[in-house]
Amino acid sequence: MRVAEPILHVDMDAFYASVEVVKDPSLKGKPLIVGGQGGRGVVTSASYEARAFGVHSAMPMVRAIRLCPHAELRSNDFPSYLEYSKLIREVFLSFTPLVEPLSLDEAFLDVAGSVKIFGAPVEIGRQIKHRIAGLGLGCTVGVAPTKFLAKLASDAAKPDGLLVVPADRVTEFLHPLPVKALWGVGERTGEVLTRLGLRTVADIAMMPKRTLERAVGESLGQHLHNLANGIDERAVKPHEAAKSVGSEETFARDLDDTTEIVREILRLADRTAGRLRSSGHSGRTVTLKVRFSNFSTITRSRTLGHDTNTTAEIYEVARALYLKLDPQRPRIRLLGVSVTGLTTGAPLRQLELGVGSDGAGWDEASKAVDDLRRRFGERSVGLATLLEEPRPDEGGSLE
């Protein structure tokens, strides 16, 4: 039996804010803003009550507070968000092994092989919504023949909705949408298409492909032509490996003191190492990201001859990368430390710093720290160098 709409896109509703409500039920129904609390903090999530005042993610926190001064404020709690993301992933995997996560709070599911057990794709969507509601969270589900259409369907159904785009009604759903709905149409491409008089997806679909390719380039033209005609042959890729694990901070004031900067690199290395271990990864390329006060940004990387997931080794590499920078550089606005070249599992070799030739001391110490943080919270244990230091606005990634 061929399933006409086998792809689901599940997108959590105001995920970080919703997790904060689960942690503190007194926040339910209130305007809630989650993000960095410093002067340069950025909104990472907002409840729908706060969104009614114009607050949205990626907005400067200062502006968000001006728009909604009576909102409840919460700092990012990435360990909690990761834990709930894992619970959500378990729900998805209970219906199909074909799950492609896009971030902590959204994923594609191919349920073509699951209909004999769980029913039609739309029924699977309803069951997923019910299971996630049991976690105290809300989600929106799009059901369609392709990934692109499923994502558009979930966008259209937000919040807390479920929308099916049947295979025989793709054109009816897709063609009235604005051209910016097509993946690959950013600001610049949108301007080119507008100059050509193309304002809807239908306009793109009806334009000769060669004309479109001449206007925006052969590759992008072919891509947009296919999407506008409902063609998206990409399969759901299950369990796609994370590309990088990292952490970054934008500071409330620009940094220039080497001692202070190195301390922040240590903080970031510790956070990144913890996220590596929590996600079950290790890696061998350490990257330092620096954004200066003039908003220019550079990255510097070093690849080790072995995998690592320890604070000490990630810190030593990132610190060395920083110390090689021009001492006459501008003040620093943002720092980030990330690790790429990831593999699954603990590294085969640990750092040797006087704790045993096999590095077992660092391994055991890291496990002990992780256990304490899981039991008593992220700030329950930390490096002595960082005690009683102010915490700048936090950010992080697992991509």
Q: What span, in angstroms and rounded, lies between the C-alpha atoms of 208 and 204?
A: 8
Q: Is the pLDDT reported for residue 1 higher than 60?
A: no
pLDDT of residue 372: 53
CB 204, CB 225: distance < 8 Å: yes
> How many CB atoms neighbour CB 251 within 10 A?
22
Per-residue pLDDT averaged across 353-379, rounded? 50
The overall average pLDDT reported for the chain is 86
Lowest-confidence pick of 62-76, 78-92, 128-142, 242-256: 242-256
Active-site residues: which are they? 106
Q: Is the pLDDT reported for residue 23 higher than 80?
A: yes
pLDDT of residue 327: 86
Per-residue pLDDT averaged across 138-158, rounded? 96
Per-residue pLDDT averaged across 126-145, rounded? 97
Lowest-confidence pick of 66-75, 155-164, 348-357: 348-357
Helix ranges restricted to H, 134-169? 147-157
pLDDT of residue 357: 39
Q: What span, in angstroms and rounded, lies between the C-alpha atoms of 63 and 378?
A: 28
Q: What span, in angstroms and rounded, lies between the C-alpha atoms of 136 and 22?
A: 6
Residues whose CB is less than 8 angstroms from the CB of residue 27 and which lie 6 or more positions away in sequence, other chains included: 20, 21, 47, 72, 74
More confident call, 136 vs 372: 136
Q: Is the pLDDT reported for residue 394 higher than 50?
A: no
pLDDT of residue 385: 54
Q: Is the pLDDT reported for residue 2 higher than 70?
A: no
Task: pLDDT band for 349, please (50, 70, 90 cuts).
Answer: low
Q: What span, in angstroms and rounded, lies between the C-alpha atoms of 356 and 342?
A: 25
Q: Is 247 exposed, middle or buried (0-12, 13-18, 19+ CB in 10 A)?
A: buried
* Beta-sheet pairing, 106-110 with 99-103: antiparallel
Reduced to 3 states (helix: H, G, I; strand: E, B; else coil), residue 47 is: coil
Going from the C-alpha of 150 to that of each of 31, 97, 136, 199, the distances in angstroms are 29, 18, 24, 22
Domains and CATH numbers, the chain: 15-78 (3.40.1170.60), 175-228 (1.10.150.20), 244-398 (3.30.1490.100)
More confident call, 360 vs 152: 152
pLDDT of residue 393: 45
Task: pLDDT band for 172, please (50, 70, 90 cuts).
Answer: very high
Per-residue pLDDT averaged across 143-162, rounded? 95
Q: Is the pLDDT reported for residue 203 higher than 70?
A: yes
pLDDT of residue 42: 87
Task: pLDDT band for 382, please (50, 70, 90 cuts).
Answer: low
Give helix 15-23 / helix 78-93 axis angle, nearest 10°.
Answer: 100
Q: Is the pLDDT reported for residue 384 higher than 70?
A: no
pLDDT of residue 290: 95
- Output DSSP code: residue 350: -
pTM equals 0.68
pLDDT of residue 365: 54
Task: pLDDT band for 251, please (50, 70, 90 cuts).
Answer: confident
Per-residue pLDDT averaged across 129-133, rounded? 97
Helix ranges restricted to H, 168-247? 170-174, 187-195, 201-206, 209-216, 218-228
Q: Is the pLDDT reported for residue 374 higher than 90?
A: no
Q: What span, in angstroms and rounded, lies between the C-alpha atoms of 259 and 5?
A: 57
Q: What span, in angstroms and rounded, lies between the C-alpha atoms of 281 and 341?
A: 10
